[in-house]
Amino acid sequence: MDIITSLAIVTLAALVHASFQLSVSVLTLLSGHAIGSKKSHRRTVALTGSFVFGAGVMTLLLLSFFALMFSHVFGNNVTSLIWAICCGVLIGVGLAVWVFYYRRERGTTIWIPRSFARHLSNRSKATKDPAEAFSLGLTSVISELLFIIAPLAVSALVIVQLPTEWQLVGIAIYSVISLLALLIVWVAVGSGHSISRIQKWRETNKHFLQFAAGSALVILGAFVYVNQITLALEGIV
Amino acid sequence: MLHEGGAMTIVKRGGHRPSEDFSKQKLHDSIVAACLSAGTPTGLAEQIGRTVTDAVISWLHTRPEVTSHDLRLTATKHLRTHHPDAAYLYEHHRKIL
């Protein structure tokens, strides 16, 4: 696989990651409670900024962990079987996202373990300290691992095939792009946009986001399958 | 006690937590918080908070006991006439996550 194709796969996987909404939901709640409890604008921006930074750090750590694990286990010779498993996971998670991602009720509640959701909800209401907001960012990424594991795994698998200097580029591209949704909401809150308008937009477009994320995962799975298995078997790649 | 003949007891959502006495301040603060989150200036938020709280207290006069869910629905109904965006947040804050 050439470098451009590899980075394109990493970019698409990161966009799928960015379209997942748990961290955005927690950020919305955190911002709403910070503004509602009359915290200063500076304090609100610090809290939400720490949250976004925490989510970014955990994404970076998870991707690096997966990449390190894959490079130790598979090295540079990832077999067709491993790629096929990876494609299966991508397509499976994509179908699951189509069916299960949002709960069938009003609002933007997501199919994650309720204990995680309660913890995130309770702590986002109570957080006063940027350090705790940072830890909430870490936790929110772990809570969504069920869905982000597919784009993370395929990105890690692709990244370990790259030349060393490009591996860092791949990790940086994934980390930055996967944070896009959070960064947009952070900037919107920081520039004074109403939380209710942000949440209304999210609720109105939730089925589109769900369909887009699921479809992108299926398309990514099909692309990787064709690129790594079909063409490899035909001796083209 | 809230007032003569008015509701004092709020039965909490889901029945997992014990009932509690009605707190005017708590209701007022929650409405102000929703207004502030919706981008309302502090003075206007306080004014809406007082107006909606008074309307809810009038409604409570006729009921000896209400659930927190009913209280929220009634507050939302009154808040919607003053600030629809804040009412949306007030009504849906449990359905964000």
Among A195, A200, A201, A206, the residue to mutate for chain B (most B Cβ within 10 A): A195
Q: Which residues of A touch B89 (CB under 8 A)?
A: 32, 195-196, 199
pLDDT at position B14 is 66
Name the least confident of A22-36, A47-61, B1-15, B72-86. Answer: B1-15
Phi and psi at A102, nearest 5°, equal -95, 145
Among A199, A202, A203, A204, the residue to mutate for chain B (most B Cβ within 10 A): A199
Q: Which residues of A touch B93 (CB under 8 A)?
A: 29, 32
Q: Identify the closest residue of chain A to B91 by CA–CA distance.
A: A107
Q: How far apart are CA B71 and CA A123, in angstroms?
A: 24
pLDDT at position B11 is 76
CB contact under 8 A, B85 and A196: yes
What total number of domains does chain A contain? 1
Name the least confident of A194-198, A227-231, B46-50, B76-80. Answer: A227-231
Cβ of A68: how many Cβ atoms within 10 Å? 12
Residue A195 contacts residue A21 (beta carbons within 8 Å):
no
CB contact under 8 A, B37 and A36: yes
Question: A201: domain range?
Answer: 3-231
pTM (2 decimals)? 0.90
Kind and range of the H or E run holding A91: helix A80-100
Q: Is the ipTM of this complex over 0.85?
A: no
Q: Identify the closest residue of chain B to A115 by CA–CA distance.
A: B97
Please provide the average confidence, as pLDDT, over all residues in chain A: 93
CA distance B84 to chain A (A): 10
Of A157, A5, A108, the closest CA to residue B89 belongs to A108
Q: Is A197 within a domain?
A: yes
Residue A135 contacts residue A143 (beta carbons within 8 Å):
no
Take residue B27 and report the two structure tokens written for it: 């209701």
- Using the Cβ of B33 and the Cβ atoms of chain A, whether some distance falls under 8 Å is answered with yes
- B33, B88, B97: residue with CB nearest A200: B88
CB contact under 8 A, A120 and B38: no
Q: Could you state, in order of their start, the residue ranges of all structural domains in chain B?
A: 9-95
pLDDT digits (tens, 9 = 90+) for A149-171: 999 999 999 999 999 999 999 99
Give A235's pLDDT tier (boundaries 50, 70, 90). Answer: low
Q: Is A237 within a domain?
A: no
Name the least confident of A53-57, A72-76, A201-205, B11-15. Answer: B11-15
pLDDT at position B95 is 85
Three-class SS state of A31: helix
DSSP state, residue B12: P
Alpha helix locations (H) across B8-67? 24-37, 42-60
Name the least confident of A82-86, A221-225, A231-235. Answer: A231-235
CB contact under 8 A, A199 and B36: no
CB contact under 8 A, B96 and A38: no
- A25, A192, A200: residue with CB nearest B97: A25
Q: Which residues of A touch B73 (CB under 8 A)?
A: none
pLDDT digits (tens, 9 = 90+) for A103-129: 988 889 998 888 888 899 999 989 999
- Which ranges of chain B have pLDDT less than 50? 1, 3-5
